[in-house]
Amino acid sequence: MEVPGARYPRIHLTMDNSFASKRWTAPSDWARIIRDLGISCIEASADTEADPFYCGPEVMAEWVDEVRAASQASGVEVVNLFTGYTTYRTLGLAHPDARVRRRVAEDWLGVAARAAGRLRAGLGFYLHAFPERALQDAAVYARTKDGLYDTLAEVARRSAEAGCKATMVEQMYSPHQIPWTIAGTQEYLVEVTRRAGAAAYVAIDAGHQTGQHRFLRPSPEAVVHALETGAAAPYLGSDSAYTLFEEAGPTRRPSAFARR
């Protein structure tokens, strides 16, 4: 029952075209296949020969023209442009070297944002991770996160200027890939929006919740129980915490999480 004056979200069934990687790479091909499935909204993955580093700005501009022509011919619409699997293998925007961060922000996301803007689409990505040494040092972690928020704010601001409908960071599932908790996601949304002066959004992958229970902070009782019984350590996070655990009790079975 609809309430007069209330606002309701419009929900559209959308398909990611990553299935077409290395097979149906021309926009006219994957647009036709998706249309024949009865779907009219597409999330275009960079893995379908639309990666700014692989293609460069000139080819990306031509790709946008091909997408526009395919959309007109098939009746489908690219509503989001998203990073693919190749960009998932890097520290990217959280890299300790500023030159790498700048190249990723400008030459990858900048090019992608202009393409998304021309398509009147959103830009979604996950292009950062924290190295182990950042996870083992609270001060390094805080500096890395703060710098990442500044970089993400710059990306969101420039994407808005390029005409992107929305700039979305994908929610992840482990401590070295933020945001990975509800509280962390709220912090990201508030901080990046404040620093950017433009709205920041998050893309939720429902499958990412499946393993998060393995990284919950253990209760004091669970730690004491493991120490007293000689059981494997619960998840403790940092190497220093595992070292304290090992020194506090007799020799025990190695933890399933230790030294990860």
The yes-or-no verdict on residue 259 having pLDDT over 60 is no
Q: Let me know whether 207 and 85 are in one domain.
A: yes
Q: Let me know whether 159 and 236 are in one domain.
A: no
Q: Let me know whether 39 and 99 are in one domain.
A: yes
Q: Let me know whether 109 and 124 are in one domain.
A: yes
Spatial distance between the Cα atoms of 67 and 44, rounded to a whole number of angstroms: 10
For 121, other C-beta atoms within 10 Å of its C-beta total 24
The whole domain housing 78 covers: 14-211
Q: What is the pLDDT of residue 76?
A: 95
Q: What is the pLDDT of residue 241?
A: 86
255 backbone φψ class: left, alpha, beta (φ>0; ψ -120 to 50): beta
Asked whether the bond before 218 is cis by omega within 30 degrees of 0, the reply is: no
Burial label, 77 (beta-carbon count in 10 A; 0-12, 13-18, 19+): middle
Q: pLDDT exceeding 70 applies to what percent of the chain?
A: 94
Mean pLDDT of the chain: 91
Spatial distance between the Cα atoms of 44 and 50, rounded to a whole number of angstroms: 9
pLDDT in tens, 84-127: 998 888 999 999 999 999 999 999 999 999 999 999 999 999 99
pTM for the predicted model, two decimal places? 0.84
The larger pLDDT score, comparing residue 209 to residue 17, is at 17
pLDDT in tens, 126-136: 999 999 999 88
Residue 61 belongs to a domain with what CATH number?
Answer: 3.20.20.150
122 occurs within a structural domain:
yes
Q: How confident is the model at residue 4 (pLDDT cuts 50, 70, 90)?
A: confident
Give the range with max mean pLDDT: 3-12, 97-106, 250-259: 97-106
pLDDT in tens, 174-209: 889 999 989 999 999 999 999 999 999 999 988 887
Q: Let me know whether 191 and 225 are in one domain.
A: no
Q: Let me know whether 107 and 231 are in one domain.
A: no
239 occurs within a structural domain:
yes
The yes-or-no verdict on residue 23 having pLDDT over 80 is yes
Q: Let me know whether 232 and 204 are in one domain.
A: no
Q: What is the pLDDT of residue 2?
A: 59
